[in-house]
A and B are shown apart, each in its own frame.
Chain A
Amino acid sequence: MRPAGVSRRTVLEALGSLAAVAAMPRHAFGQTAGAAAAGIQWNAAAFNAQTVDEALKALGAGTPAPTTEVSWGSTPQIAENGAVVPISVSSKIPGTDAIAIFIEKNPNKLAANFYFPEGTAPALSTRVKMSESSLVHALVKTKDNKYFLATREIKVTLGGCGG
């Protein structure tokens, strides 16, 4: 038994987590303030990325392999209103645990990232804004950290920026 060693480790760990908490506010400027304050997970680098490549890099996706194993469900090919474009994506790739949606012509390329724990279907429906007609990508991540990309073009008759 080495109580001294144990307590030293415990103290160091406690100090470490304190330091992490103390360091947080210093990085928590701008858009991430809310995320940091509430202790939520939000990949600021990926969401602020100005190009699809940058966003992929921030997610650790590198150059994903193209795939046809993604179904776009009821996602339209022509959307009348860019402010409300229904997006429906499901993955048939085994071990899918996350799907990210990118809109190539939007100011911020990454629109949303969805995570599916064990037991949850790798499928989602939501609605997004599109500033103009654009390629829309679905990035599939698997449990063993492989990445796949499916792409569809959506034409927008009326842009969603309300300008």
Chain B
Amino acid sequence: MPDPMRIRATIQDSQATVRVLMSHEMETGQRKDSAGNVVPAHFIQSVVASHNGRQVFRAEWGPAVSKNPYLQFQFGGAKAGDKVQITWVDNKGETRTDEVVLR
């Protein structure tokens, strides 16, 4: 199971700011190891965030997103105590979902 995300979600005037740090190699498939073999691509392709069950943000990523990806976005109509759920899926079908309470 992949390592958990670190999510910080703050709220100001019903506007939520979500900062996410994911734990992922984001291997491009362009790199060679010390033996000269190509390291196969392994990267997050999809990120979806939902707020109380409604999708508020979505991203499609290529391998150019940095290792241990960082992401920040903002959405409205939120209040303290609401839950934000974030899910990523990578090109090998591995996935991770984490949830945070807005404060």
Number of interface residues of B (CB under 8 A): 41
Number of interface residues of A (CB under 8 A): 43
Contacts across chains A and B counted by CB atoms under 8 Å:
130
B73→A120 contact, CB < 8 A = yes
Chain A 1-58 residues near chain B, CB threshold 8 A: 31-35, 37-38, 40-43, 47
| A84 CB–B CB distance under 8 Å | yes
Set of chain A residues within 8 Å of B77, measured between Cβ atoms: 119
**A108 vs B41: C-alpha distance when bound (angstroms):** 13
| A66 CB–B CB distance under 8 Å | no
Instruction: For residue B16, give the distance in angstroms from its CB to the closest CB of chain A.
Output: 10
User: Given A120-B76, A161-B31, A111–B62 Cβ distance below 8 Å?
Assistant: yes
Seen from chain B, the residues whose Cβ lies within 8 Å of a Cβ on chain A are: 15, 26, 28-32, 41, 45-46, 48, 54-67, 69-77, 89-95
Seen from chain A, the residues whose Cβ lies within 8 Å of a Cβ on chain B are: 31-35, 37-38, 40-43, 47, 83-86, 103, 106-108, 110-117, 119-121, 123-130, 160-163
